[in-house]
Each structure stands twice: as structure tokens, then as C-alpha cells.
Amino acid sequence: MKALLLSAYAAMSHRHWADGLQQQFPEIDWRRLELPPRHFPWRIRGNPLTWLGQERDCLHEDYDLVVATSMVDLATLVGLCPSLARARKVVYFHENQFAYPLPKGQRIRAEPLMVNLYTALAADVVVFNSAYNRDSLLRGARDFLKRMPERLPLDSVLSRIAEKAVVLPVPMSEETPKPARLGRRVLWNHRWEYDKNPEAFFTALETLTTRGIDFEVAVLGQQFRDQPPVFEASRAWLGERIVCWGEQPGDVYRDMLDSADIVVSTTDHEFQGLAVMEAVTQGCVPLVPDRLCFPEYYASAYRYAGDQTTLEATLAQWLTDPASRPGLPDARAWQWPAWRDAYREVLIGT
């Protein structure tokens, strides 16, 4: 079976997913094309032109299967390369632009939303990493299209997507989960961007400090040229409580996960949350907001109501009374052995 794997914005989680597909299905003859995760407005709209300029011969080959991320403008690509239309087309939504929070001062732009819609409509199977991702796309698309100037057949359009939708998370690599630890090391291992809401995290740590609660903190995760100022401001007052700061090479990152006790998310945007799953696999108890995708993956014992007060109260209790922490979720439920057959059915159609 010959397959074309397309990733138009190859962020870290997207590469992890693509690597997993190739490793888990070596019987498929994969050809992989991906573009670096920068210049987002151009990437999501211009990827067919970029690939036509760089990979024209590859795109015009005959494939049995095309697997693309939701940022690939699949409808345009199939129109420009008609041979792709004969392949089984699977689109994977790591995220959707209808539910992605905008930076302050930015207005919603139609182009990324329409790429998501047209790509989903052009696919034979549309895969989401969570039901929240699927539902927020359908809900957001309905709200968006209602505001457009023409009376569109919304039920017909959206039902076509819903009928071919499947929920399959990005699986984690197979490994034995580590046991929980009862120390006081708090972990942040998310992207240093506005949508991860770092202000809430550092405000909680400041409250713990004011109350005299002892803790250590490891602040990891991918960094970018522009980052919220709260990081540098918090580094100054956290002082000796910091055991690790900033983006780290893989071995150091893994060691920090192995030594941390509680992993916290305060995010305003999450469709699955691989960073939290990685930490749980290494023995960290998760504390996540009761919104977005988290109710699908974590029992109520791991979720705080979403407000600052509840976050701070739960974190304070877990630090001062380690026995009050819930046992770890079963990380094996997120690993490839639990999802390989379902992925095979989606990719091969049997």
C-alpha cells in the first residue's frame, strides 16, 4: 500500500503523530512531506503552492492513501493534482481553527476556518483527537457560517462532516508507566504562549508562596522568540524554588518529568494535551481544568473547576497533604497498543 503523509505545519505534536504512524504501520510504503511550523497564515493557505514548487513529481504519483493534517489545504491540492482524488483520503485534526483562542487585539480571519472546512469536506474520513475537538468544530462552523451573507445549507454541509468523523487520540509510545511520587515538585511543561494561560499558573504559585507553602518548580516547554512577559517576571521572584527553567534537550526534559510530582495545566486551549500525558506516564499526578478536552481523559479527581481559587486550593492541599492526591490515571489507555486496530481500520478501511 502506497501512502502520502502530509503535514503543513509540523509542530512537535504533529511530528510525534506522524512518526508513530510510520513506526506502527511499516507495511505501508510511506512518502512524507511536511513544512516547518512558522508563518502560520501563509502555511495554512499556501501549502499547495509550496509543495507544487518543491515536490511536483511526488504529488503526481499514484497513491492508495493520502493522510493529511487539518492545516493541509486538501481540497485545493486534490484540484491541482487530480491523481490524488483516486486515493483514500484521511484528514487528522490535531486542533481546529474554530475553537483556537485568538491573541488580544486580533480579529477572526475567514481563510483558516474555510481551509478546515474544505479539507474536511474533501476527505473520506475525518479524524479528531477528542470529541471536544469534533464538537467545537461543528459548533464553531455553524456559528461562523450563519454570519455569512448567503443562506447556506448548514445541516447538509455539517452532517457530511459529522457522518465521516472518528475520534482517535494521538497515541503515546508504548512504555511501562512510572508510579506516582509524593514530593513537592510542581511541573509546567507546555508551550510558552498566550493560549496556555501561564498567568494563572504563576499567580497560583505566588499565592502558595504568600501562604508559606513549600514547593519546587520546573518550568519546561517549547519557547519562542515572543513569549508572555509573566515568565521572566516570575523567574525573578521564584528564585531558589526553581529546579529547571526553559526549553531543554530530550534527556534533560525526560529526567525532569521523572523527578516531578504534580503536573499542572491552566490552558485556555487544549484538544488533547500530550504534554500532560507525557508527565502522567512518568509518574506525575495531573491537575487540569474542568473544560475543553480534559473531562474525556481525566476523572473528576484530577480536574479543578476552572477558577483561580479552586486551582490554588487544590494545589495547596496536594502539596501540604500528599496522601490526599488521587492515584495516577492508567497511562496505558493512551498508548499505541490500545489504538493500533482502530487506526488500521481508518487507514486501510478494513
Q: How confident is the model at residue 143 (pLDDT cuts 50, 70, 90)?
A: very high
Q: Residue 186, Cβ neighbours under 10 Å: how many?
A: 26
**Whole-angstrom Cα distance, residue 66 to residue 3?**
6
Looking at residue 279, its pLDDT comes to 98
- Rounded Cα–Cα distance for residues 290 and 324 (Å): 19
- At 8 the pLDDT is 96
Predicted pLDDT of residue 46? 96
d(CA 133, CA 93): 8
pTM of the predicted protein model: 0.94
Report how far residue 130's alpha carbon sits from residue 87's, in angstroms, rounded to the nearest whole number: 25
Determine the pLDDT at residue 328.
97
Q: How many angstroms separate the CA atoms of 17 and 92, rounded?
A: 10
d(CA 156, CA 134): 17
The domains of the chain, with CATH numbers, are 2-172+335-348 (3.40.50.2000), 185-332 (3.40.50.2000)
pLDDT at 237 over 90: yes
- Please spell the DSSP secondary structure of 254-320, one letter per residue: HHHHHH-SEEE---S--SS-HHHHHHHHTTPEEEEESSTTHHHHS-GGGEE-SSHHHHHHHHHHHHH
Q: What is the pLDDT of residues 13-34, one digit of tens each?
A: 999 999 999 999 999 999 999 9
106 burial class (0-12, 13-18, 19+ CB within 10 angstroms)?
exposed
The span from the CA of 240 to the CA of 237, in Å, is 9
Residue with cell 523527578: 259
The tens digit of pLDDT for each residue in 279-312 reads 999 999 999 999 999 999 999 999 999 899 999 9
Nearest in space to 66 (alpha carbons), one of 34, 97, 32: 32
Give the confidence band of 350 by pLDDT, cuts at 50, 70, 90.
low
